[in-house]
Amino acid sequence: MPHAKNFLITAYWLTTFALFTVALVLVFTWTPTESTMGDVQKIFYLHFPVAINTFLACLVNFIASIAYLWTNRRKYDDLAVASATVGVLLCTIVLMTGMIWGKSAWGEWWTWSPRLTFSLLLWLLYASYLMIRPSIESPTRRAMVSAVYGVVAFLDVPLVWLSVRLMPDIHPNTISLEPKMWLTVAAFALPVTMLSFGLIFARYGLYRRENAAAEARRLDDERSETRHAAATLYRQGGLTS
């Protein structure tokens, strides 16, 4: 069974890598160039799916945080922190690709428009989530504080989504693309989603194993301390058997 599981995991990652490579080739060789913005519009095919997956990672964090508050089970805290880590990574890519696109399309790296500001706020919220955790020593308290924080931080996601619809913004709102362009979006959406969820669950698995190893080490230390104390007592004649 472990062999079959390892085979499936390897196949999943190889498929993701292959689909990502195919999508990259499609973007630069097959997809037509957009008439207004030119070649820089090609960034959209990665920027858009990564943005959607950022929201999905935040949603996983939100659901896992609620599940932790509901059940107090450690595994939900592990899932929440794994999704926050991947969410920060994806949000960094969204901001970076957006800035590169902005520099070419608008002539500046950054502008304080509602969509961009709320996106930066999203990055700051989840980066702070990851930075706050190590400062809390008790695992139970850390998980509880993180879960409450995760629920509150998620409120920024609808703000990012709705900002371009509710407020005047330089960021595009509606997109009109040729069928070939939509196919490229779909071709990128699949491996990016596979990659995002693969990373969340791989990181989650790693957290689970790290915690189990830490717990085993702690038990080992406790056992050897007890053994040492018993041996000392025995030598002093405090224990007879």
Q: Kindly tell me which of 183 and 202 has the beta carbon lying closer to other proteins.
A: 202
Q: What values do phi and psi take at 178, rounded to 5?
A: -70, 160
Count Cβ atoms within 10 A of the Cβ of residue 136 and give its class: 0-12 exposed, 13-18 middle, 19 or more buried: middle
Map residue 9 onto helix, strand or coil.
helix
- Of the pair 147, 207, the CB lying nearest other proteins is at 207
Task: Output the smallest distance, CB 1 to other proteins, in A.
Answer: 17
Using CB under 8 A as the criterion, which residues of the chain lie in contact with other proteins when the complex forms?
13, 17, 20, 24, 27, 37-43, 46-47, 50, 86, 89, 92-93, 96-97, 100-101, 103-104, 195, 198-199, 202-203, 205-206, 209-210, 213, 216-217
Q: How far apart are CA 16 and CA 14, in angstroms?
A: 5
- Give the shortest CB-113-to-other proteins separation in angstroms: 19
Q: Quick one: 14 or 167, whose CB is closer to other proteins?
A: 14
Within 10 angstroms of residue 151's Cβ, the number of other Cβ atoms is 17
Residue of 7, 73, 22 whose CA lies nearest to 192: 22
Q: Which is nearer to other proteins, 36 or 236 (CB)?
A: 36
